[in-house]
C-alpha cells in the first residue's frame, strides 16, 4: 500500500530556530512536494522536486529551503523560523504519469512561538 | 488568475441525499487532469476521483462522480447518498500535462457537513 510518512505530527519550535521537516515515501515516486495549508487559502506549494538533487520553487518559497539527497526522502527546512510560518505542512509524492494523483502524508502541525 | 476556483466555502446536506460541490478551472493547456481530494478533520488528504481532459465519459468511483463540462471549464464533484462520514473538506485540483507537468494547483476547498 502507498505510504508517505512525515516525521512529526505536531511540532513546537521557537522563533529563530532552524527547523527540519522530514518526509519519506515508499512508492519509488519521482516527484515530491511540500505544501502549507492555512484556513481559507487551501494548499500552497512551497517547493517540489522531480528527481534526486533537483528542486523547483513553488508559489511561496521565501523563508524555506529543501533537500533531496535520496529518491525516497524530501526535507523541508525553515532556515530561521518565524511566527508567520505557524501552519499545517503537507508532504506529497506522485508518479510521473499525468493521470497519477498525489499521495499525501498525515501532515505536520507546526507552531512557532 | 486563479487556476482552480471553489466558490462554496461551506455546505450542508441531509444524510442520504446527493450533493454537488462546484469547481471551475482555468488553463490554456490542451491536456490536463482534474482531481478531487477529501480531507477529514484528522488531516490526511484522500484521493477520490480523476478526470482527464480527453476522457469522453464522466468519471465515477462508487458514490463519487464527476460532472465534467469541458466547454464551461467545470468539474463538479457529485456525492450520492451522503453519509455522516462524508463530512470533511473537499479540494479540487488540476495538473497541466504539457505546460507545468509537475505542478498541481489546488482550490481553497469546500467544507461539507452532513446532517443526520
B52 part of contact set with chain A, CB < 8 Å: yes
Instruction: Tell me the pairing of strands B10-14 and B110-115.
Output: parallel
**pLDDT value at position B92?**
97
In chain A, which residues have their Cβ closer than 8 Å to the Cβ of B108? Answer: 40-42
In whole angstroms, give the CA distance from residue B68 to residue B54: 11
**pLDDT value at position B72?**
96
B103 part of contact set with chain A, CB < 8 Å: yes
**How many CA atoms are closer than 13 Å to the CA of A63, on its beta-carbon side?**
14
- Using the predicted structure, report yes or no on whether residue A98 has a pLDDT greater than 90: no
Q: What angle do CA B112, B114, B116 make, to 5 degrees?
A: 170
Going by pLDDT thresholds of 50, 70 and 90, the confidence category of residue A1 is low
Quote the cell numbers at residue A108.
505536520
User: DSSP secondary structure string, chain A?
Assistant: ---EEES-SEEEE-TT--EEEEEEESS--SEEEEEEEETTTEEEEEEEEEETTEEEE-S--TTEEEEEEETTEEEEEESS--GGG-EEEEEEEE-SSTTPPPEE---EEEEE-
A12-57 pLDDT, tens digit per residue, is 999 999 999 999 999 999 999 999 999 878 899 999 999 999 999 9
B110 part of contact set with chain A, CB < 8 Å: no
Local structure of B85: helix, strand or coil: helix
In whole angstroms, give the CA distance from residue A82 to residue A95: 33
In chain B, which among 31-50 make CB contacts under 8 A with chain A?
31, 33, 35, 37, 42-45, 47, 50
B57-104 pLDDT, tens digit per residue, is 999 999 999 999 999 999 999 999 999 999 999 999 999 988 777 788
What average pLDDT does this structure show over A52-75? 95
* Most distant CA pair in chain B, distance: 45
B64 part of contact set with chain A, CB < 8 Å: no
Phi, psi of A80 (to 5 degrees): -150, 95
Amino acid at each position: 500500500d502507498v505510504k508517505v510518512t512525515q516525521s512529526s505530527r505536531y511540532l513546537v519550535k521557537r522563533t529563530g530556530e532552524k527547523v527540519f521537516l522530514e518526509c519519506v515515501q515508499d512508492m519509488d515516486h519521482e516527484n515530491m512536494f511540500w505544501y502549507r495549508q492555512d484556513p481559507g487559502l487551501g494548499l500552497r506549494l512551497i517547493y517540489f522536486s522531480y528527481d534526486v538533487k533537483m528542486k523547483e520553487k513553488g508559489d511561496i518559497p521565501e523563508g524555506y529551503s529543501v533537500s533531496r539527497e535520496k529518491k525516497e526522502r524530501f526535507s523541508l527546512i525553515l532556515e530561521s523560523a518565524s511566527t508567520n510560518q505557524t501552519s499545517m505542512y503537507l508532504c506529497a509524492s506522485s508518479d510521473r504519469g499525468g493521470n497519477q494523483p498525489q499521495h499525501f502524508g498525515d501532515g505536520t502541525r507546526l507552531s512557532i512561538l | 488568475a486563479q487556476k482552480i476556483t471553489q466558490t462554496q466555502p461551506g455546505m450542508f446536506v441531509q444524510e442520504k441525499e446527493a450533493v454537488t460541490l462546484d469547481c471551475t478551472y482555468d488553463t490554456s493547456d490542451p491536456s490536463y487532469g482534474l482531481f478531487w481530494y477529501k480531507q477529514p478533520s484528522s488531516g490526511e488528504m484522500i484521493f477520490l476521483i480523476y478526470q482527464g481532459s480527453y476522457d469522453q465519459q464522466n468519471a465515477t468511483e462508487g458514490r463519487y462522480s464527476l460532472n465534467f463540462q469541458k466547454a464551461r471549464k467545470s468539474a463538479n464533484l457529485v456525492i450520492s447518498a451522503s453519509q455522516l462520514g462524508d463530512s470533511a473538506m473537499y479540494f479540487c485540483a488540476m495538473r497541466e500535462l504539457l505546460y507545468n507537468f509537475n505542478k498541481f494547483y489546488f482550490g481553497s476547498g469546500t467544507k461539507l457537513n452532513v446532517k443526520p
